[in-house]
């Protein structure tokens, strides 16, 4: 068995979101997330922040590209446009 830890596509990001919030993300919001740019650890750390706040934010706010950090093209924690 091979476990791929590279950047995720929208389907996989949606699955991670579903595990955290026990619901599907809004399809129109998920469609705006860039694919193959975010590592699983970055997605999980990002979503965990919102889960700890009590999940009071909308999908639009949670999945804002400017809030997701640590893309695969950079080793630093810089924000993604």
With H, G, I as helix, E, B as strand and everything else as coil, classify residue 79.
strand
Residue 40 lies in a domain: yes
For residue 18, give Cα distances in angstroms to 26, 47, 77: 11, 10, 25
Q: Confidence band (pLDDT; 50, 70, 90) for 20?
A: very high
Residue 37 lies in a domain: yes
56, 64, 4, 22 alpha-carbon torsion, rounded to 10°: 20
pTM (predicted TM-score): 0.73
Determine what percent of the chain is predicted with pLDDT higher than 70.
78
Structural domain of residue 39, as residue ranges? 17-62
Of residues 55 and 62, more confidence is placed in 62
Q: How many domains does the chain have?
A: 1
């Amino acid at each position: 068995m091979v476990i791929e830890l590279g950047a995720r596509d929208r389907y996989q990001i949606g699955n991670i979101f579903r595990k955290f919030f026990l619901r599907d993300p809004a399809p129109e919001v998920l469609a705006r997330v860039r694919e193959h740019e975010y590592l699983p650890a970055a997605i999980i750390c990002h979503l965990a922040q919102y889960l700890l706040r009590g999940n009071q934010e909308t999908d639009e706010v949670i999945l804002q590209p400017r809030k997701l950090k640590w893309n695969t093209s950079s080793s630093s924690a810089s924000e993604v446009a």
